Amino acid sequence: MTLAVDNLSFHFPGGGPKLAGISFMLTAGEVACLLGPNGAGKTTLIRCLLGNLSASGGTVTINGVPTHAFGARQFAARVAHVPQTVQSVFGHRVQDMVLMGRSAHLGLLETPGERDREMAAQALARVGIADLADRPFAAISGGERQLCLLARALAQEASILIMDEPAASLDFGNQIRILDIVSGLARAGYAILMSTHHPDHAMLVGSRVIGLRDGRIIGSGAPRKLLSARFLSELYGAPVRILEELDGTRACVPVLSRHHQQEIMQDA
């Protein structure tokens, strides 16, 4: 399954361009990471891809077919969205939230059957929270909720996953769990587009990075080639360094002012 974006643009009514000239292709087995500062247009781009916003120009296609040609269920059978968070005001259990992912495969008045429940159970097991199936969604932790939303997307059986900052506000351990699952899904053949505020995450699981700033792509390529200190400093408008271990593991760290560094050393 291939998602292709060609010269996409978006304008808010009465405002200037929010996105301009966005072009890239997402293929099976790939994790494309969207990087960029706040206001760069990452969430706007995701909303355009999902059809929640109508693009001002350009095209988005799935296997060569424009996305606007698909009905809602047809689109959902191909593309699943994992949002940053979602609230449940009806007291849904975790398994109920995951079962919602099966709606793309059900008729208008059809209720989930045995196979749908099996698919939901398999998705919960795949992300490691099968033991939470009967817990209220509102009562589990933020990391567990994010895993539940990911399970819901997997139960949808879509080949393309669009993830909006899936590790946002999660502790370090849950970030690692999410990234490990993302890496495994890519190996299983999913095509994944993931926005993140963490360049380190792109270095760990990304096969490609798309750098977005002021609504435009300022760089695209393999993480090891693209994510230099110079590129990241330009992208975020702040100085950073890239550290590399002997085994090739790389990490991005901020460069503080000399005055700030001296204060830290004194406090230590």
pLDDT tens column, 133-192: 999 998 998 889 999 999 999 999 999 999 999 888 788 888 899 999 999 999 999 999
What is this structure's pTM? Answer: 0.90
Reported for 230-237, long-range contacts at CB under 8 A and 24+ positions apart, including other chains, are: 232/199, 235/35, 235/36, 235/37, 235/211, 236/37, 237/37
b/e string for 214-249 if b means 16 or more Cβ within 10 A? ebbbebeeebeebbeeebbeebbeeebebeeeeeee
Pairing type for strands 240-244 and 250-254 reads antiparallel
**Looking at residue 111, what is its pLDDT?**
84
8 Å CB contact between 49 and 98: no
Read off the pLDDT band of 268 (50, 70, 90): very low
**Looking at residue 267, what is its pLDDT?**
42
**pLDDT digits 0-9 by tens, 218-266:** 999 999 999 999 999 999 999 999 999 999 889 999 998 765 444 434 4
Domains and CATH numbers, the chain: 1-78+158-223 (3.40.50.300), 88-156 (no CATH)
Dihedrals phi, psi of 55, to nearest 5 degrees: -60, 150
**Looking at residue 16, what is its pLDDT?**
66
103-107 mean pLDDT: 82
